Amino acid sequence: MSSWSKQPVVASNAPKAIGPYSVAVKAGPFLFVSGQLGLDPVTGDLVSGGVAAETRQALSNLKAILESAGCGLDAVVKTTVFLRDMGEFSTMNQVYNEFFAQNPPARSAIQAAALPRGAAVEIEAIALLPESGA
């Protein structure tokens, strides 16, 4: 039997889950963050402005969740980016670079036939928790 446990994370500055899942889960030394859409945390609506605005908001939401768990963007070791249209990769990438300019995490980018709420982008992440287990 493992001594590891899983603990859901609640982030007051990020959108609530839109389904039966946790926005993030601490498990061992890792934080697994569910896919983030470009949802405004106050209204719960998708931000307007296309893939650039949605990417910026999704990454801001990711950052808020990480901070609620006691870490930050520098702790992210892997992201997966789902795009509705791979033709928008360059635009997404420009905004992504604003958040991960130094020592970026490993990343995969995948075109998805459709994303929740008709979103243009969804971004999930895996991060290392501080050794204190924050």
Domain 27-128 CATH assignment equals 3.30.1330.40? yes
Would you kindly state where each structural domain of the chain is located, as residue ranges? Answer: 27-128
| Residue 134 neighbours by CB distance under 10 Å | 12
Q: Is the pTM of this model over 0.85?
A: yes
Task: For residues 9 and 68, give the distance between their C-alpha atoms in angstroms, rounded to a whole number.
Answer: 7
pLDDT, tens digit, 9 for 90 and up, residues 40-72? 999 999 999 999 999 999 999 999 999 999 999
